[in-house]
Amino acid sequence: MRDFNRKSTMCGENAQKICTFPSNVLQWRKNPEVFSMEELILYVKYQAKPGCRETFVRQIVEKGILTAIRQEPGCLAYDYYFSAQDENELLLIERWQSAEHQRVHMQQPHMQQLRAIKEQYVDSTTLGKVRLEA
CA distances from 50 to 53, 55, 103 (A): 8, 11, 31
- The pTM is what? 0.70
Q: What is the residue extent of each domain of the chain?
A: 13-130
pLDDT band at 111 (very low <50, low <70, confident <90, very high): very high
User: Which of 10, 108, 99 has its CA nearest to residue 66?
Assistant: 108
What mean pLDDT is predicted for residues 101-123? 97
Averaged pLDDT of the chain: 80
CATH 1.20.1440.230 fits 13-130, yes or no: no
**Structure confidence by residue, pLDDT tens digits, 30-44:** 444 444 558 999 999
**Structure confidence by residue, pLDDT tens digits, 70-108:** 999 999 999 999 999 999 999 999 999 999 999 999 999
